[in-house]
Structure 1
């Protein structure tokens, strides 16, 4: 295998892996830091370590162990995929990659200019504002506290880190040891910095998001025939476990366009095994009737007008915010597992990495094969289940324009 990509959540693993798969490069996405690294029948292997919500020390240990195993598995290149809004244990995981790889430098290109997420003078911007002033700065589970990338890294590692302008393709790489953070406001700047790194032997160990991942096939000389997205069931069911304001705007727009919208109650979200109870089974029957009667549907975990009712219910049960997050994702997974075989489901779109993971767990799936992007950051993947090939659309909660869901519905219906 040529390249190992290490991601910290499922949707992030897919949105980077698809940059290779869509170019005809055999790509597999698997879950778990202990996943097998050999006999995967792929040129690019993406491992979702599920470390975004772990304590920093645990995330470090998971990535360190994976990188040490990768050194013996024969990968030519290692790429630490980070969140383009800098969520998660970025400092700890980059430090683990640099230390375990025995490298002197780690080039880090956190920009995703294809999604208007850029790095200027070492500061990460989302749609023109510092990331701390964007919806990611007020995320209830993982707010981003620093827009200056080196400040964010310093919270979790003592390794030296410094910021640099984008490099010219024929430029030289700074001589400093440690984590080198490079600016990029355009894809061309990602490409030229990558070319300079390649010319100076600096592509073996890298870090960035799907933005830089999109130019890596060209830099590494990988690729075949571009992949065409297959025809899909024209019915669309959106399962949303994201609290991101970007996704909430998409749900509002879709509801205005005629999607049905079901908000799960705090009891349905927080009570273990609710969907296996008598009341849960009755609710499932009603949901299936709704899906059969309408072509476009949304099931979401957000309360109307804010999530205070669910937070209050969690407090009454003595749940921490982390326990609440896990319990909600697990409940949604059970719901999808119960509905999965119904023909009324149609094409399934899952938004949010926790939601995707639990939904796939519910049907016993731990590996996905990305195929293509339906829209930027919106990935179509396939997997085997019950002896047949099934498809699922995935996206991070922070991706996409307001009319994304209606545009996808139109696309799969055409």
Structure 2
């Protein structure tokens, strides 16, 4: 079979996109660090690669993705999917340009819509439709009314030298063959085309239209589009899961998105386990060793009395410091790419702060897994996920299924926790009871 590669800018993005292929039968490996490409997962059909570029400059992100894309091409990867964040964080334009340059592609199609997670694109605008149930529980929310709207072609043009155009919803809904003809015609004026989509049917039409297009075409988008790219491909059987484990479910919340705050509160109420808060201020003051020891000891003392352990940054529940990326009105809100989830920082919001906290959370997870029995690991926040995996010595994640849209389950490859079930979730994804459903799934209390 032709090998497939996904290039994502963070670990949760690699996971939620890779699992779309896994569910169609492709053996999928998430590669936690791009330096390990070619060293792990050689027997897999799909590599979902964390390029870890979210916090780099545009120039740095371009160079890293260019080098990676060139390496993949030289390794005879024939299909590539450039995963972009569903709220356009990071450097989607620079990274797409890098892939096109490395592959000498004539055309790129960009489809950021993720309907099952309430991300839509209409008239070129990326829109997040508020979840009324979740919104009611987030107090206060950040009002971004009047802030710059996110027009996807405009965002891409800021970092690309190529001509960027847009294909509206009416054209998409003419059907696959007519859409392919429209894309071919639009190619005369544009090298990058952003496509509208608001339903799964729209994504299916786009996926079928891709098959009609000649030449080298790079596909880019969120996990929503990835779910439809295997429709016309031969499927293979997914490998069986690792044996079930005993112990606690360990939930590590490094994101401070208000959606995550609601989800953590819901599972805490359900399970009777209130989060053990990590003092981010102590970490930023250089007292990380003391704080790690305190958190580990406190968690070990709780081990025998419950099935769930929650480790959360203390800033998760400081609502005045949270950025939701959602509006406050009753209508859907077009968002600015910088108006969404921010790193889990205690004070300044600098990359250094985010990495220091994520590193400490990784150390806490490593100590706990060496001390207590853990049946499953749940992590929210891309930085947190990659630092926890690194602390455990894991080199990859063998994806198995998707518990909820955008919330995949896999098994760690390598390191001290080899075979451990792991669930990752980006901060702003999922319904209020997402962690309850994940918790039930992992302890086999419900057949979801």
TM-score (norm 1): 0.87
The aligned residue for residue 382 of structure 1 is 411
C-alpha distance in structure 2 between counterparts of 1:229 and 1:125, whole Å: 37
**Structure 1 contact 9–353 (Cα < 8 Å) conserved:** yes
| C-alpha deviation, 1:399, in angstroms | 1.0
Residue from 388, 400, 403 that aligns with 2:433 = 403
The aligned residue for residue 14 of structure 1 is 15
The aligned residue for residue 117 of structure 1 is 119
| C-alpha deviation, 1:187, in angstroms | 1.2
**Structure 1 contact 5–81 (Cα < 8 Å) conserved:** yes
The aligned residue for residue 68 of structure 1 is 70
- What are structure 1's unaligned runs of at least 5 residues? none
Say which structure, 1 or 2, has more relative contact order (CA 8 Å, 6+ apart): 2
| C-alpha deviation, 1:342, in angstroms | 3.0
**Structure 1 contact 234–412 (Cα < 8 Å) conserved:** no
TM-score (norm 2): 0.81
What secondary structure sits across from 2:89 in the alignment? coil
| C-alpha deviation, 1:194, in angstroms | 1.7
C-alpha distance in structure 2 between counterparts of 1:356 and 1:200, whole Å: 37
The aligned residue for residue 391 of structure 2 is 362
Is 1:169 equivalent to 2:176 in the alignment?
yes
- What are structure 2's unaligned runs of at least 5 residues? 323-342
Is 1:30 equivalent to 2:60 in the alignment?
no
C-alpha distance in structure 2 between counterparts of 1:55 and 1:290, whole Å: 42
What is the total number of aligned residue pairs between the two structures?
398
How much is the aligned-residue C-alpha RMSD, in angstroms?
2.9
| C-alpha deviation, 1:307, in angstroms | 7.1
**Structure 1 contact 263–300 (Cα < 8 Å) conserved:** yes
The verdict on how the C-alpha distance between 1:203 and 1:269 changes in structure 2, with shifts beyond 3 A counting, is: farther
The aligned residue for residue 328 of structure 2 is none
Alignment of 1:14-413 (within 5 A): 14-37=15-38, 40-127=42-129, 146-165=149-168, 166=172, 168-171=175-178, 172=181, 173=183, 174-175=186-187, 176-201=189-214, 204-219=217-232, 221-225=233-237, 231=244, 233=246, 235-257=248-270, 258-272=272-286, 274-275=288-289, 277=290, 280-303=292-315, 304-306=317-319, 321-383=350-412, 384-386=414-416, 388-413=418-443
The verdict on how the C-alpha distance between 1:284 and 1:386 changes in structure 2, with shifts beyond 3 A counting, is: closer
The verdict on how the C-alpha distance between 1:265 and 1:7 changes in structure 2, with shifts beyond 3 A counting, is: same
C-alpha distance in structure 2 between counterparts of 1:251 and 1:200, whole Å: 45
Measured against aligned partners, the alpha-carbon deviations of 1:330-386 in whole angstroms (never above 9, x if no partner) come to 111111111112334432101111001111111111211111111111111112334
What secondary structure sits across from 1:53 in the alignment? coil
